[in-house]
Amino acid sequence: MATLNIQGVTKAFGPTHVLHGIDLDVADGEMIVIVGASGCGKSTLLRIVAGLETASTGNVVIAGRNVTALEPAERDVAMVFQNYALYPHMSVFDNMAYGLKIRGLPRDDIAARVQEAANLLGIGALLERRPRQLSGGQRQRVAMGRAIVREPKLFLFDEPLSNLDAKLRVQMRAEIRRLQKRLGVTSLFVTHDQVEAMTLGDRLVVMHAGHAAQIATPMEIWARPADTYVASFIGSPAMNLFPATLEEGGHAARLDSNGLVLPFHDGPRPGPAGRKLTIGVRPEHLTPGQGGLELQVDLVEPLGGESVIHARLADGTEVTAKLPGSSYSDGALNVIIPLHTLHVFDGETGKRLEAGG
């Protein structure tokens, strides 16, 4: 158990810059999820923390000790890989005991610790098996067990759930969270799945093109996304983004698509009239009603209690709405935008614009 500080870490592979200065402070026992699309540098960041890659500049500090120059072995971290990376020629027991044997623990201690971890994970009966005799979920548990027995300062998870089927993924997700809370080990968890990110993390790091676009709690990110990338990445279906211009001395926005004027309920935004804006509305915040957007529905996806509606405005702008019930069909549909659900972003930089700022 320990804190982790990532200080100004950059990484370049030759001329390709993968990370552009990441700063992150992780408290003791915290679970941080690094989420982003593929190629955003999230795995590279994790591998730098593990010591499998070296940072081009910047420092990694674990429990107050600068480990930037140290080998993975000396950092006292444990990692769970996407493909589990179990030692195929060793039994489950030996897989879990490998790191302990290297540390020269007495044989009895090793056996006790492996047994305890195995019981915790419900794989106590599998200790004699080889990895190839296990199912995907069992291999996943062994990989977890191998990390747990080491009692490391830091757990690192590199998309550990993406090779599992959907049902097992949900189950393992909950198990990992429960286990992490119970053991209280500081953890970094990398994923491209925003649902995984929202449900697992105490805080999220949303990565985009080598930058940390936003570091905050899941609800904070959902409620106040820092820019349009985060806004469209977190939340399913993705947030609707409409181009708009600033109006009425900063007190309202006019949508470019249909000229609809949306007054800001929480105060004016700075800037001259005509400033380019992007207005964001989550699909689940749209509600049926007159006087808002006039949609032409072209696809309805019923989910049971609610429906996801794909539609277009008159000028072709795509709109997604998530509405209660299932009695929708193709054709005209009117929805209104509740004003308190608006997200306002700068039209050029994509950064969030707060009221009065």
Partner 1 sequence: MRRKVIFGNKLLPYLLLAPQLIVTAIFFFWPAAEAIRYSFLRQDAFGISVMFVGLENFQDLFADERYLQVVWNTIWFSFWVTVLSMGVALLLAVLADRHIRGRNTYRTLLIWPYAIAPAIAAVLYIFLFHPSLGLLGRALNGFGVPWDYRLNGDQAMLVVILAAAWKQVSYNFLFFLAGLQSIPKSVLEAAAIDGASPSRRFWTVIFPLLSPTTFFLLVINITSAVFDTFGIIDALTGGGPGNATQTMIYRAYVDGRVNLDLGSSAAQSVVLMIAVMALTLVQFRFIERRVHY
Residue type, 268: P
Residue type, 321: A
Q: How far is the CB of 270 from partner 1 (least distance, A)?
A: 49
Which of these ranges, 83-91, 177-185, 258-266, 307-315, lies near partner 1 under the rule CB under 8 A? 83-91
Contact, 58 vs 168, CB < 8 A? no
Within 10 Å of residue 98's Cβ, how many Cβ atoms?
Answer: 17
Residue keyed to tokens 């529905």: 297
Contact, 194 vs 235, CB < 8 A? yes
Specify the residue, 128 or 318, whose C-beta has the smaller distance to partner 1: 128
Please work out, in degrees rounded to the nearest 5, the angle formed at the alpha carbon of residue 156 by the alpha carbons of 153 and 157: 150
Contact, 163 vs 82, CB < 8 A? yes
CA distances from 145 to 177, 181, 189 (A): 14, 15, 16
Q: How far is the CB of 331 from partner 1 (least distance, A)?
A: 50
CA distance 102 to 113: 14
Q: Is 150 in the site for partner 1 (CB under 8 A)?
A: yes
Specify the residue, 23 or 74, whose C-beta has the smaller distance to partner 1: 74
Residue keyed to tokens 């993705």: 238
Contact, 76 vs 1, CB < 8 A? no
Q: Is 98 in the site for partner 1 (CB under 8 A)?
A: yes
Q: How far is the CB of 99 from partner 1 (least distance, A)?
A: 4
CA distance 197 to 30: 14
The interface mask with partner 1, positions 109-148, x = CB under 8 A, is: ---------------------x-x-------------x--
The interface mask with partner 1, positions 317-346, x = CB under 8 A, is: ------------------------------
CA distances from 257 to 154, 229, 244 (A): 50, 21, 8
Dihedral of CA 159/160/166/171: which sign?
A: negative
Q: Is 2 in the site for partner 1 (CB under 8 A)?
A: no
Which of these ranges, 82-90, 176-184, 296-304, 305-313, lies near partner 1 under the rule CB under 8 A? 82-90
Token pair listed for 344: 């306002």
Q: How far is the CB of 184 from partner 1 (least distance, A)?
A: 21
Q: Is 77 in the site for partner 1 (CB under 8 A)?
A: yes
Q: How far is the CB of 276 from partner 1 (least distance, A)?
A: 46
| Interface residue with partner 1, options 8, 87, 174, 248 (CB under 8 A) | 87
| Interface residue with partner 1, options 89, 178, 265, 351 (CB under 8 A) | 89
| Interface residue with partner 1, options 12, 52, 111, 238 (CB under 8 A) | 52
Specify the residue, 51 or 225, whose C-beta has the smaller distance to partner 1: 51
Q: Is 107 in the site for partner 1 (CB under 8 A)?
A: no
- The CA radius of gyration of the chain, in Å to the nearest whole number, is 24
Which chain residues interact with partner 1 by CB under 8 A? 50-52, 71-73, 77-79, 81-83, 85-89, 98-99, 102-103, 130, 132, 146, 150
